[in-house]
Amino acid sequence: MDSFGDHEFVTNHNISSNTTNPLDPEEFRRQGHMIIDFIADYYKNIENYPVLSQVEPGYLRKSLPKSAPFHPEPIETILNDVQDHIIPGITHWQSPNHFAYFPSSGSVAGFVGEMLATGFNVVGFNWMSSPAATELECIVMDWLGEMLSLPESFLFSGKGGGVLQGTTCEAVLCTLVAARDRVLHKIGVDKIGKLVVYCSDQTHCALKKASQIAGIHTENFRVLRTTKSSSFSMSPDILRQAIRNDIERGLIPMYVMATIGTTSTTAVDPLAPLCRIAKEYGMWVHVDAAYAGSLCICPEFRHFIDGVEDADSFSFNAHKWFFTTLDCCCLWVKKPSSLIKSLSTNPEYLRNKATDSNKVVDYKDWQIALSRRFRALKLWLVLRSYGVERLRELLRYHVELAKAFQNLLEGDKRFEIMVPRNFSTVCFRISPSSVESSTVDDQNKSENNKEKGLLERTNEVNAKLMDAINATGRVWMTHAVVGGIFALRFAVGTTLTEEPHVVAAWDVIKEHADDILNAYR
């Protein structure tokens, strides 16, 4: 029994004397150095690993114990297991030979910022819970908005503002809910079944999921057709006609999402005319620039978001192509009050003088969750460590690498570029003419059947090419199917990628194209 004033406490001295504090500073220092060395060695040797993990489903359960350890294990033993069992099951997104999907780029500044954020481990749901977390986020979002030449109406100085979400999916859901409630406030909540959401057939699936969550009737989710002739961008004319058709049916157009750099082909929707149409009908326009928004800090690429001044919200992912680790989605809105009205909750236990003063931002009211991480730290470190000009240089270098890859493709008559390259992603395929010359066609088929058969064979050849490339472990690429055409995507943007990696990838592509086409002869 230990005495403390007039109270006595029961303690087990054996337990307290034999247990290391889980947050002991010196042990943290020792293990922290080991982890830094481990990660540094990982990056030093990352090219030695196959980019795409080669393990089979369920591999890890066979390698690890069935139950958690009863007694503590040293970090040295744990790191050995990370090396032996975890790394083989990692697909190495930071590999310089990663050309799949879109990049998930990193940097020393991004990692160090993440370490600081994790180290402080603050829960910054409102201003009072950590003033620095809120105020730094406001500042960083204004800095970045100015770098993008966003209109002042999107900045805090212009009564708008920015917030760091986890992903685009969260940003889209928040803006969709705000748009929904803005309309329902006028027409009544019982009319939710009349609200209509619009996008193109190239829009990210995040919007469909957000619409389902927000209660939009599935039959009121409009997917507008795009064509190769317009490089798969959304047609203002088709949008206008769809809106008119819905109004005639007694429905209410509510939200349209325009994309700058679609996932499949990096198509660019025409912002200015789409915004003009939406404005005529009082619709919310969200601009999704998840991938390509980063590049718009470069003056020569800023024109891709011309027209954003008439949108209601704009977002891009700093964790994609802005050297900031996952997760970090930057969202700006013209009217923060729209988010706050839809997303705020004010229970008694969160009340405080700062919030009641209306002089501070409480970011809990700008997002889905209550708790939030100190994401602004890593973005702040990236901006300060590299500066605007260096960031521009890095982005331009990736575009130049994509141009170089495109030139290699164009020098080989077996391949064709599927759509114009806008940024640092090249969509291509083995051409139908190359497939046709490598196969025996059925002369008795009709012209339509011949054309259909050739398309099917061409798609089959390109799918085999991608699988063969990825099976080598030397390169990882993904695909898209647009207009019924299977295309390979070569997305440059991983921080460590340099010209030799692009050339080596081209050698792998050529080698397997030779094998596949020869097999058809």
475-501: pLDDT as tens digits:
999 999 999 999 999 999 999 999 999
Distance CA 188, CA 230 (A): 39
**Residue 465 pLDDT grade (very low, low, confident, very high; cuts 50, 70, 90):** very high
Q: What is the pLDDT of residues 110-163, one digit of tens each?
A: 999 999 999 999 998 988 989 999 999 999 999 999 999 999 999 999 999 999
**Residue 346 pLDDT grade (very low, low, confident, very high; cuts 50, 70, 90):** confident
Per-residue confidence (pLDDT) for residue 448, from 0 to 100: 66
Residue 297 pLDDT more than 60?
yes
Contact 62, 84 (CB under 8 A): no
Per-residue confidence (pLDDT) for residue 45, from 0 to 100: 94
Q: Decide: helix, strand or coil at residue 286.
A: strand
What percent of the chain shows pLDDT beyond 90?
85
Residue 77 pLDDT more than 50?
yes
Q: Decide: helix, strand or coil at residue 455.
A: helix
Distance CA 245, CA 152 (A): 35
Quick one: DSSP state of residue 56? P
State the chain's mean pLDDT as an integer.
92
Q: What is the pLDDT of residues 410-457, one digit of tens each?
A: 999 999 999 999 999 999 999 998 888 766 555 555 666 778 888 899
Q: For the chain, what is the radius of gyration of the CA atoms? A: 26
Q: Decide: helix, strand or coil at residue 518.
A: helix
Per-residue confidence (pLDDT) for residue 519, from 0 to 100: 82
Per-residue confidence (pLDDT) for residue 374, from 0 to 100: 94
Distance CA 456, CA 143 (A): 49
Residue of 390, 412, 419 whose CA lies nearest to 514: 412
Residue 12 pLDDT more than 80?
no
Residue of 287, 336, 285, 293 whose CA lies nearest to 317: 293
Residue 9 pLDDT more than 90?
no
CB atoms inside a 10 Å sphere around CB 75: 15
SS3 content of the chain, % helix, strand, coil (to 5): 55, 15, 35
Per-residue confidence (pLDDT) for residue 127, from 0 to 100: 83
Tell me which of 3 and 175 has the higher pLDDT: 175
Half-sphere exposure of 305 (CA within 13 A, CB side): 31
The angle subtended at Cα 314 by Cα 224 and Cα 197, nearest 5°, is 30
Tell me which of 14 and 194 has the higher pLDDT: 194
pTM above 0.85, yes or no: yes
